[in-house]
């Protein structure tokens, strides 16, 4: 939570990068698409949504929609949004914070998956077919 706050109010601009204008605005579009992906994933979770890593007792494993593309589409969308917005802002500080958040999402998702494997025996098959944050190509 602190990393998100620092990202949002980062006053540092002395470590800026300079991107071509077309790349800057492409980054803004990608950031918006990341937010849309997050919203879609939240909607698809329906009543399974919880702020805690432990699955709800009455929850079921969602494997369709954005969850066909990534096992953790909310994190994937946030990663896209934050990295792309950091590029739009041309901020090295925000890119560095994005990197820290990617690590946080990786380890948090790893813990969540250990709980999902216990609750859903079919999660292991799902894990083999679908990438953590990005679609498996091969």
Tens digits of per-residue pLDDT, 96-131? 999 999 999 999 999 999 999 999 999 999 999 999
What's the confidence (pLDDT) of residue 56? 93
Q: Answer whether residue 26 shows pLDDT above 70.
A: yes
Q: Is 91 in a helix, a strand, or coil?
A: strand
Q: What percent of the chain has pLDDT over 90?
A: 78
Per DSSP, the chain holds a count of helices (H) and strands (E) of 5, 0
Residue that wins the pLDDT comparison between 138 and 135: 135
- Between the alpha carbon of residue 56 and those of residues 51, 53, 68, 75, 112, the distances in Å are 10, 9, 21, 19, 12
What's the confidence (pLDDT) of residue 12? 61
Q: Are 53 and 112 in contact (CB under 8 A)?
A: yes
pTM reported for the whole predicted model = 0.88
Q: Are 133 and 110 in contact (CB under 8 A)?
A: no
User: Exposed e or buried b for every residue in 3-41, given b needs 16+ CB within 10 A?
Assistant: eeeebeebeeeeeeeeeeeeeeeebeebbeebeebbebb
Q: Answer whether residue 7 shows pLDDT above 70.
A: no
- Write the pLDDT tens digit of every residue in 45-58: 999 999 899 999 99
Residue 16: phi and psi, rounded to 5, are: -80, 150
| Residue appearing with tokens 């560095």 | 96
| Residue appearing with tokens 């979770």 | 45
């Amino acid at each position: 939570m602190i990393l998100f706050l620092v990202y949002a109010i980062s006053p540092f601009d002395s470590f800026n990068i300079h991107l071509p204008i077309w790349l800057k605005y492409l980054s803004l579009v990608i950031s918006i698409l990341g937010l849309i992906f997050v919203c879609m994933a939240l909607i698809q979770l329906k009543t399974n949504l919880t702020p805690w890593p432990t699955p709800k007792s009455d929850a079921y494993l969602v494997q369709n929609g954005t969850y066909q593309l990534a096992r953790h589409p909310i994190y994937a969308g946030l990663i896209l949004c934050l990295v792309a917005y950091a590029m739009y802002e041309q901020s090295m500080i925000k890119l560095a914070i994005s990197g820290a958040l990617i690590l946080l999402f990786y380890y948090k998702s790893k813990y969540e998956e250990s709980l999902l494997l216990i609750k859903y025996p079919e999660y292991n098959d799902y894990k083999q077919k679908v990438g953590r944050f990005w679609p498996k190509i091969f």
